[in-house]
Amino acid sequence: MEVGISTASFYPDALIEESIPLIKELGAKKIEVFLGSFSEYQEDFCRKLKDIIDQHELTVYSVHTLSTQFEPQFFSLTERQRKDSQNLFEKVFTCARILGAEVYVFHGPPVRINAKPNINFPRIGPLCDELADFAGEHGIKFSWENVSWCWFAYPEFASRLLENTRSENIYFTLDIKQAMQAGYSAIDFVKTMGKRLVNIHAIDFYEDGRLTLPGRGIFDFNSLSRELRAIDYKGPIFLEVYRNNYGHYRELRESLDFLEGIFI
């Protein structure tokens, strides 16, 4: 396994291109790039960003986006809405390829607060196949992330999705905080994701649910490590935190050291 960091950890203090030198100073080598604006989905922007990343000798593993901008519309009821969404996916997958990414992290549609998702798997399965295969045409793995406020809010979603899809390009991203916020253990999700797990977002939390840097809270990273080794997980663990979870950037280095001590 390898430990890296998401550019989202510097938002909003540093734009993506401004976060790259900071990551280099921290000593991380593998990154997840969080594209959060329509202008950042453009080829010109991503080519310039790729140059900066290469200058700092970093490697992009995965790309994330501000999902609510276009992801839910892919499952809309009209062809026009789905086509508009697909056009944006085309831009994002192209950018991911330019950046050298292997994985696209997908949130999917949101659900109402305190409402359990009511999902028509036979309907969404073929649409998910279409989107996953579309990502595959660009050389990108389509990875659905567990998110407490979206469809994938409970562990069984992964198995139900796979039962209703045929694409071999459907994978999963584990988010530790999102599992907690949905009322589950991250390990519950690992068990259903299995060998399709290709990416992990790491953060810690206190007893009351407040988020903090890995190593400062109560999450059992050692148990997670054992579970990952049991399924022979070889992917990265990305430090993905919020800017209000730390004071100085050097605190991120301490968390990277903590994660490396457990997973490497």
**Domain 2-263 superfamily per CATH:** Divalent-metal-dependent TIM barrel enzymes (3.20.20.150)
Query: Between residues 76 and 224, which one has the greater pLDDT?
Result: 224
Q: Which residues contact 146 (CB under 8 A, 6 or more apart)?
A: 152, 153, 155, 157, 158, 172, 173, 174, 175, 178, 179, 182, 189
Look at residue 67 in the predicted model and tell me its pLDDT. 80
> According to the model, what pLDDT value does residue 132 have?
98
Mean pLDDT of the chain: 96
- pLDDT value for 114: 65
For the chain, the structural domain boundaries read 2-263
Amino acid at residue number 41: Y
The pTM score is 0.96
Statement: residue 44 has pLDDT above 90: yes
pLDDT, average across residues 62-81: 90
Give Cα separations from 244 to 4, 11, 64, 90, 258 (angstroms).
Answer: 19, 10, 20, 33, 19
- Please report the pLDDT score of residue 121 as a whole number: 96
> How sure is the predictor about 68, in pLDDT bands with cuts at 50, 70 and 90?
confident
Confidence of residue 116 (pLDDT cuts 50, 70, 90): low
Give mean pLDDT, residues 117-124. 89
Which helix (H) or strand (E) covers residue 255, if one does? helix 250-263
Chain centroid offset of residue 33 CA: 9
Q: What are phi and psi of 71, to 5 degrees?
A: -60, -45
- Report the pLDDT averaged over residues 104-128: 87
Mean pLDDT of 58-73: 92
Predicted pLDDT of residue 70? 87
Confidence at residue 112, expressed as pLDDT on a 0 to 100 scale: 75
Q: Give the pLDDT mean for 197-213.
A: 98
pLDDT exceeds cutoff 70 at 101: yes
Q: What is the pLDDT of residues 133-181, one digit of tens each?
A: 999 999 999 999 999 999 999 999 999 999 999 999 999 999 999 999 9
Please report the DSSP string for 183-206 in residue order: TS-HHHHHHHHGGGEEEEEE-EE-
The number of beta carbons lying within 10 Å of the beta carbon of residue 6 is 24
Residues above pLDDT 90, as percent of the chain = 92
What are the C-alpha distances in Å from 161 to residues 39, 86, 155? Answer: 32, 20, 11
